[in-house]
Structure 1
């Protein structure tokens, strides 16, 4: 299964971002991708003041572009994330579309990025976003896939639940910053891959040093043994990672962690 990791630049021009994303999706298809992944907030700057004005309701222009391009190219498209509007709330949401343009999944970021590191990064998504409340997996012809967004990856329970549902790859549109990225980006993707014996794929925006929020970039694909298969730098790039999904079963057979779970050890209450 060939995956395209599209580390694209994001500007204040929403229509321009959508055109860029559509063109890069077409290029990914021409490169043989079966699944293409866009970054978190690929259609607008990653700033609280932008999320509501750039937001869209069901069937909005970003969703329409993703669906149409998936159908045009015959790929699965993991649509990064966009600000989704519903009933007065704003969600950080990823939509996934199948090769016929049908929506296969919608994940609303469950763990909002509220961080305050003295001398480093301060950001509170909860000033604008409402949290989602779902574990998200979706079916493809390659099997079951998992989906979360950025800060969600820090919560091992969420990744484990996806894999217990059968996920063999966890896709993570993300936008780590220059404080958390150098410290934790590769560590977390390798850790979740090893913990759950699955592939992990993280896709970030290209770095813009002049932006109010500076993305770390470094889009990455990791195999179930914790080996980094592909990794970008800071610049605009499209990477291709060829995932041998038989590797998941091989590693899980060699080290039967999931099947050896002692659920009795984690029951709540006195024994």
Structure 2
């Protein structure tokens, strides 16, 4: 099977030395909370304008929301799905791929392109897929949502992504040469701490989750999950949501949030469209880890290190 991922081939078999900065240089991160519509062309053009705006304000890593190019919902995934393999796809196969590559190139920034519905002809599978591009416009990595959103909260919400989507099967870490490692996952993936633990122990300075929690799970767990992943791992965590549209079939919570390595809320939006821009730096990670030295106190003689197991980084 041809791989979408352009991730570095290094194996991440050991954590970084405590003397090696996780974050090599300060970097401004942007979380772009977009309003969406049923018009894919409009969504791509709007995303481009906001990515360029974020870059003009100094952001060098920009994140878009889950399903930024389409409405979110099982009935929409097949309609809006694009073919990404073989890579690179033609513009006819994936206008979103080419739009994202151009955004990254024209912004001169790393771009975590939210997610888009993907169709794989060889398997006839649909995926919820995030593409990350370099400032050159080159594809760096692909993440297919590992944990599908299947929930049933009586009287509140029932949703089954697995009725339409197939799960991905790899953890996605991306090497940004000027800065260090980031990890990318999608929405419901944030509820599973193993992905975050592994990425942090392998040296990621930031965990990024394009996501679209709803009006039930959002107020319950959105901020809580972001802070929990940051607290457990003492890294930066960014959750990037679509803006809320009360007329949509699926109403997103919004409230894109950036959390610091001490589980502190650095920046948070409300439900409306907006952009968070904040600077990340290694000194803050080091300060937190010196104060509460989890990385030297774990008892792997008592319980297993999940990062030392059979972790799949490539399909």
Q: Does 1:163 align with 2:210?
A: no
| TM-score of the superposed pair, with normalisation by structure 1 | 0.96
CA displacement, residues 132-187 of structure 1 (integer Å, 9 cap, x when unaligned): 11111101111110111100000111100111111010000000000000010111
- The CA deviation at 1:111 is 0.4
- Stretches of structure 1 lacking an aligned partner (at least 5 in a row): none
Partner of 1:32: 58
Alpha-carbon distance in structure 2 between the residues aligned to 1:167 and 1:176: 24
- The CA deviation at 1:249 is 2.1
Alpha-carbon distance in structure 1 between the residues aligned to 2:302 and 2:78: 44
SS in 1 for 2:181: strand
SS in 2 for 1:9: coil
RMSD: 1.2
- The CA deviation at 1:267 is 4.3
Alpha-carbon distance in structure 2 between the residues aligned to 1:54 and 1:206: 19
| TM-score of the superposed pair, with normalisation by structure 2 | 0.83
Partner of 2:146: 110
Alpha-carbon distance in structure 1 between the residues aligned to 2:266 and 2:304: 37
CA displacement, residues 172-218 of structure 1 (integer Å, 9 cap, x when unaligned): 00000000000101111011100000000000000000111000000
- The CA deviation at 1:247 is 1.2
- Stretches of structure 2 lacking an aligned partner (at least 5 in a row): 1-26, 306-315
Which residue of 218, 223, 230 corresponds with 2:267? 230
Which runs of at least 4 in structure 1 moved beyond 6 Å after TM superposition? Answer: none
Which residue of 220, 238, 245 corresponds with 2:282? 245
Q: Does 1:56 align with 2:82?
A: yes
Work out the number of aligned pairs and report it.
Answer: 268
Alpha-carbon distance in structure 1 between the residues aligned to 2:191 and 2:156: 19
Partner of 1:154: 191
SS in 2 for 1:215: coil
Alpha-carbon distance in structure 2 between the residues aligned to 1:113 and 1:210: 21
Q: Does 1:176 align with 2:213?
A: yes
Which piece of structure 1 moves more, 3-12 or 212-221?
3-12
Alpha-carbon distance in structure 2 between the residues aligned to 1:17 and 1:259: 46
Which piece of structure 1 moves more, 234-243 or 252-261?
252-261
- The CA deviation at 1:259 is 3.2
Partner of 2:137: 101
SS in 2 for 1:36: strand
Partner of 1:125: 161
